[in-house]
Amino acid sequence: MSLLRSWVETANDPMCPFPMNNLPFGVFSTAGIAPRCCTAIGDRVLDLGAMERGGLLKRMGFTEPALNSFMEKGPEAWEAIRATLFGYLGEGSPSAGMIEPYLHPMDSVRLHLPFRVAEYTDFYAGRQHAFNVGTMFRGPENALPPNWLHIPIGYNGRASTIVVSGTDIHRPVGQTKAPDADVPGFGPCKRLDIELEMGAVVGQPSTMGAPVSVAEADAMIFGYVLLNDWSARDIQAWEYQPLGPFQAKAFATSISPWVVTKAALEPFRRSTPPREVPLLPYLEEPGSMLYDIDLSVTIGPDGAKNPTTISRTNYREMYYSAAQQLAHHASSGCAMRVGDLLGSGTISGPEKDSYGSLLELTWGGKEPLTLGDGTTRTFIEDGDRLTLQGEARGDGYRIGFGDCTGRVLPAPDFP
């Protein structure tokens, strides 16, 4: 697919992350406008809530401060709104003069969490990441757990601490135990990390007791966001056995402000990698379920002039797709809800500079990174700003997600 041209001229720039091919959904506000739904076109935000009130769009819940009501309408409604927006925004549209008043400069608005997160599940579905982490702790011969090549492993996280890009993150405090200590201590995390992930946003529910196929799961997904699963590695090392991550992951998860729809990503579908062992039939995919999305991570120390790119990878590196993860999640009869968020798991490529966490990039802190300002890092320090970026590249256009960024503040005083 080539660039779809718009009368919003900035949307036709090949470097623009928000061409008409994209039209992601989000929530915005201004000094005089309460939070409501919008889309991005070029360097502008289009006020869908005001358009709905003005009768230019069918009632879809765009006047609400979250996308959930719109997502509940289902795939036919999603497709219909996209087609309507094409008609309003396309080059030569007779509606240009009518639509212009609903546009706001993007740099003049505030973006909010785009949907109410019902529940959050994080997976461990990147093979290179799982191999790297397993190698550090168990050696390469036992790196992958026995079940890893058969099911997408995951854990239930906290929806309450999912925040939109730009939200500062306090360094967590918790219980840790040094290898040579007899008893644990309590205090600020010393090995704070990020995990470069994609998040799948569930737009349609399933019924408790009713499994869904991989194809049905794919149809349930509304779109995707960038996701940073902040991780306290020292807290995690002490607490995770036998039940897995808990406080080490519960303190914060950041997502990008725009939900990029499956329709916008359709030209970029890619297949999951060849299976090392056959999957059970309920996990077999009927088609390509991954996407070709370039991803990167930068770190900007407090006061540094320019951030340093520390990782570049691609979403197609995943072993399990979001549709497989969702199908497995529902396979027990677990009911999925509109607004559920599924974290892909850390996305690491085959080379060291494509690893998706500092744990891997510094190999457990043994191989420090040198940043552009000459400082080094093994893990994140107070004042550091971590930014995830992603884009799919088409013929003369790009599909962007907006940055997923967060700055680390010192740990709070503990009573």
Per residue, the 3-state secondary structure of 273-295, as one string, reads: CCCCCCCCHHHCCCCCCEECCEE
CA dist 366 and 393 (Å) reads 35
| Among the listed residues 405, 168, 375, the one whose alpha carbon sits nearest the alpha carbon of residue 297 | 405
Alpha carbon 241 to its chain centroid, in Å, reads: 27
CA dist 49 and 115 (Å) reads 15
For 191, residues 6+ apart whose C-beta sits below 8 A from its C-beta are: 232, 233, 234, 359, 365, 378, 379
- According to DSSP, the residues that pair with 398 across neighbouring strands are 393
CA dist 66 and 26 (Å) reads 8
Is residue 112 part of the annotated active site? The answer reads no
Q: Which of 129, 150, 328, 329 is catalytic?
A: 129
> What is the β-pairing status of strands 44-47 and 103-105?
antiparallel
Answer yes or no: are the C-beta atoms of 371 and 299 closer than 8 Å.
yes
For 248, residues 6+ apart whose C-beta sits below 8 A from its C-beta are: 172, 174, 231, 232, 233, 235, 236, 239, 240
CA dist 144 and 217 (Å) reads 26
Please give the positions annotated as active site.
129
